[in-house]
Chains A and B, each alone.
Chain A
Amino acid sequence: MFNFLNQYASEILRLSGEHLILVIIAMIVAIAIGIPLGILITRHPRFASLVLGLANALQTIPSLAIFGFLISVPFLGGIGKTPAIVALTLYALLPIIRNTYIGIENIDPAVREAGRGMGMTDWQLLTQVELPLAAGVILAGVRIATVISVGIATIAAAIGGGGLGVFIFRGISTVNNQLILAGAVPAALMALAADFGLGLLEKKITQQKIKRSQFNRRLTIVGMVAISIITAIVTISLQQTPAKIIIGSKNFTEQLILGELLAQQIENHTNLQVDRRFNLGGTFVCHEAVKTGQISAYVEYTGTALTAVLKQAPMTDALTVYQQVKQNYAENFQLEIMPSLGFNNTFAITIRGEEARRLNLKTISEAAPYSRQWQAGFGYEFLERADGYAGLAKTYGLKFDKPPQQMEIGLMYQALANKKVDIIAGNSTDGLIPILDLFILEDDKKYFPPYEAVPVVNQAVLRKYPEVRGAIAQLAGLVSNQDMQKMNYQVDSQSLPVETVVRDWLRAKLPKQA
């Protein structure tokens, strides 16, 4: 464990800082919007149920859905820190609005009547009576919202927002529990610290003994110091020079490796700065991102591009597929498809080795009659795509008695080996297949189109930084199927860090580096 901590210590600190900043900024915005809104609805009770109902509804939407939904929203959406902060803010709103409203409404009505009757203006009543008396309850709402935010901020990583979720998602993709903990534990500690710290503040505020004027002065000083610190943090974090090239990737091990490959290659052969936004939700997220320029490039598979993105009928000739995709991407999306990296990662319909041997199965056609009793486990994409489950079942006459389970790609192989599922749609370059004694059934009817790995690059980026083309072109045809399986294995089963695996491989394959 110490070795792990040694290696990752600086990254844990950096991601914790990122996480903290996301939460702080979101909380500031939520407080700036939530408290005034809460005050407003005490003045206009007709809107109370509307506003509270709306905030309530927002909270019931699963956080992952809000993050996903924000991807296609212009301005505030997309990927990265901004949509992450927007989502966190929306979640923090309900506790803050509600507690502000309740805190003020629950003040003894005689106090408010006396105040008004003696000639206090609405502002004076608010600042001298209502807010001080409601402060404890309002702060309790802020406390709840903060703790919720720390937890939800882990999802920010799914849309490239950074934070401790990066470790968690990476740990899930590469089946590495230590990484998951490296993300989860600091997040939990942060939540506890926030809860404790704000709880102390709450207690101080609700104590009677502090003289009001003294308290006001103290609070103002604390408030100013806090605001200055926060402003400093925000300006510093925004000062970071924007990275010129942003490389994205989908959310499984091979994609992390290929993304890292592109990134290191560009770093080694150009003077450009590269920012990594890995573990993005899936094909569609990556496509939207590279189309709009939010990422500069990622690695796609030709078959996926053809059927899932271009929504055309699957074809079996590799060269035809490549050319079709290249032409369409250039015409419709202003995206450049560069030459294949050298391997074909097709869907691998996989069963346990012992089952294959016992029933003497080699092809999918041979396995089809047994499909009834099997529990299938498929990833979200496979189930959704035209070149996925639907077409496969029809071509081979597969009929499962129990409906297929939807699961994360990273968890599928273990589930298969542990007999939780009996047949999965994995990837042919997956390192775990030989290791876990799993068997790939041959696609004898040639249902799946070829899936050659190709870099997809935003053309505007290529025009602005032509050196990127040269760097990536060096990788053409360099990665064989065995290379890919080996690297996958190193990351998945040997738990080596992705950067190290890629660095070593590059050093071996392209010895003369800049």
Chain B
Amino acid sequence: MNSLDINVEFRDVNFRVGRRDLVTQVNLTINNGEALVLLGRSGSGKTTTLKLINRLLMPTTGQVFVGDRSTHEWDVIELRRNIGYVIQETGLFPHFTVRENIGLVPSLLKWSRSQIEARVYEMMELVGLDPAVFAQRYPQQLSGGQRQRVGVARALAADPPILLMDEPFGALDPINRQELQQQFRHLQKQLGKTVVFVTHDIQEAFFLANRIGLMYEGNLVVLGTKEEFRRSPHPEAQAFMACLPTNL
């Protein structure tokens, strides 16, 4: 995939399970290099929307376009290997070392050993983990913050143009969370990836987003920059604004 023309587009997407509509009539375009934050309460449909992008879920009606093709047309394995995926529980393989975890997608893509080795070291430096100390360790031997850094490194290892992140810092203590948010924003400026970031934390959203998409009961109710969000008359947006400390 050419990084220059990749973007994500939702066209009239609905997702239904049984009789429950989890996502209703979502229309959304995500631009190259932008960090879009999907904000909303628990159960608002933001994680579901995220999973429609890497086809962990398929739309009931409507289509999700990634690059030039809809997810219906994509070979699902090729699609996923081109999208980095970071989840809240990290999901690191407990029987792989840090090195092996980070090198997962490169090895699936059959990179040479030396290429993988070099890339792993590069990623570890990028997320602030000393390779000499951490490369050989197993996930159980890491702290929560360290584990999530490995999660991010793993997602970036094959240099995918798109990054999906599902409340990745939600399980961390506030100090670690803030540290990682700052590091990630710096990283994003450096790498210019297209990022879709799910969170329920308004502060995190304001810190990281280029644009914010507010989801409420399966609908995308507000979509815009921070300024536009701040001025939005929608009651849900105002409810979230009320949770922000006033000096922001």
Decide if A111 touches B108 in the complex (CB within 8 Å).
Answer: no
Cβ of B89: which chain A residues have Cβ within 8 Å of it?
A: 108, 110
Decide if A133 touches B91 in the complex (CB within 8 Å).
Answer: no
Is A317's beta carbon under 8 Å from chain B? no
Is B220's beta carbon under 8 Å from chain A? no
Which residues 111-152 of A have a CB within 8 angstroms of B?
Answer: 111-121, 124, 129, 132-133
Contact surface of A with B, Cβ cutoff 8 Å: 108, 110-121, 124, 129, 132-133, 208, 211-212
Partner of B90, one of A112, A114, A120: A114
> Distance (Å) between the CB of B111 and the closest chain A CB?
14
Cβ of B155: which chain A residues have Cβ within 8 Å of it?
A: 118
Q: A108-B91, A118-B105 are in contact. Are A208 and B138 (CB under 8 A)?
A: yes
Which residues 77-107 of B have a CB within 8 angstroms of A?
Answer: 77-85, 87, 89-97, 100, 104-105
Q: Besides A108-B91, A133-B93, 4 other CB < 8 A contacts? A: A111-B93, A114-B93, A117-B54, A133-B94
Is B56's beta carbon under 8 Å from chain A? yes
Give the distance in Å from the alpha carbon of A116 to the alpha carbon of B85 in the complex.
Answer: 10
Is B29's beta carbon under 8 Å from chain A? no
Q: Quick one: closest A residue to B155, CB to CB?
A: A118
Is B183's beta carbon under 8 Å from chain A? no
Q: Quick one: closest A residue to B78, CB to CB?
A: A119
15 A-B pairs within 8 Å (CB atoms) are namely A110-B89, A110-B91, A113-B56, A113-B87, A114-B90, A116-B56, A117-B87, A119-B78, A119-B80, A119-B108, A120-B104, A120-B108, A132-B95, A208-B140, A212-B95
Partner of A117, one of B56, B93, B94, B100: B56
Decide if B77 touches A212 in the complex (CB within 8 Å).
Answer: no
> Distance (Å) between the CB of B215 and the closest chain A CB?
20
Q: A113-B87, A132-B95 are in contact. Are A118 and B56 (CB under 8 A)?
A: no
Decide if B91 touches A115 in the complex (CB within 8 Å).
Answer: yes
Give the distance in Å from the alpha carbon of A110 to the alpha carbon of B91 in the complex.
Answer: 5
Partner of B87, one of A110, A121, A129: A110
Q: A208-B140, A212-B100 are in contact. Are A118 and B94 (CB under 8 A)?
A: no
Tally of chain B residues near chain A (CB < 8 A): 30
Cβ of B164: which chain A residues have Cβ within 8 Å of it?
A: 117
> Distance (Å) between the CB of B142 and the closest chain A CB?
13
Partner of A119, one of B100, B105, B140: B105
Q: Quick one: closest A residue to B51, CB to CB?
A: A117
Cβ of A133: which chain B residues have Cβ within 8 Å of it?
A: 93-95
Most buried by B among A111, A124, A129, A208: A111
Contact surface of B with A, Cβ cutoff 8 Å: 54, 56, 77-85, 87, 89-97, 100, 104-105, 108, 138, 140, 154-155, 164
> Distance (Å) between the CB of B107 and the closest chain A CB?
9
Decide if A118 touches B96 in the complex (CB within 8 Å).
Answer: no
Most buried by B among A114, A208, A211: A114
Cβ of A116: which chain B residues have Cβ within 8 Å of it?
A: 56, 80
Decide if A110 touches B140 in the complex (CB within 8 Å).
Answer: no
Give the distance in Å from the alpha carbon of A111 to the alpha carbon of B139 in the complex.
Answer: 12
Q: Quick one: closest A residue to B101, CB to CB?
A: A114
> Distance (Å) between the CB of A89 and the closest chain B CB?
31
Closest 5 CB pairs of A and B: A114-B91, A119-B80, A119-B81, A110-B89, A117-B85
Give the distance in Å from the alpha carbon of A133 to the alpha carbon of B139 in the complex.
Answer: 14
Give the distance in Å from the alpha carbon of A212 to the alpha carbon of B208 in the complex.
Answer: 37
Cβ of B97: which chain A residues have Cβ within 8 Å of it?
A: 211-212
Q: A119-B105, A121-B77, A208-B138 are in contact. Are A114 and B94 (CB under 8 A)?
A: no
Give the distance in Å from the alpha carbon of A387 to the alpha carbon of B78 in the complex.
Answer: 77
Cβ of A119: which chain B residues have Cβ within 8 Å of it?
A: 77-83, 105, 108
> Distance (Å) between the CB of B245 and the closest chain A CB?
32
Cβ of A117: which chain B residues have Cβ within 8 Å of it?
A: 54, 56, 80, 85, 87, 164
> Distance (Å) between the CB of B167 and the closest chain A CB?
12
Most buried by A among B79, B104, B164: B104
Give the distance in Å from the alpha carbon of A211 to the alpha carbon of B96 in the complex.
Answer: 8
> Distance (Å) between the CB of A137 and the closest chain B CB?
14
Q: Quick one: closest A residue to B140, CB to CB?
A: A208
> Distance (Å) between the CB of A309 and the closest chain B CB?
62
Partner of A118, one of B78, B85, B90: B85
Decide if B85 touches A114 in the complex (CB within 8 Å).
Answer: yes
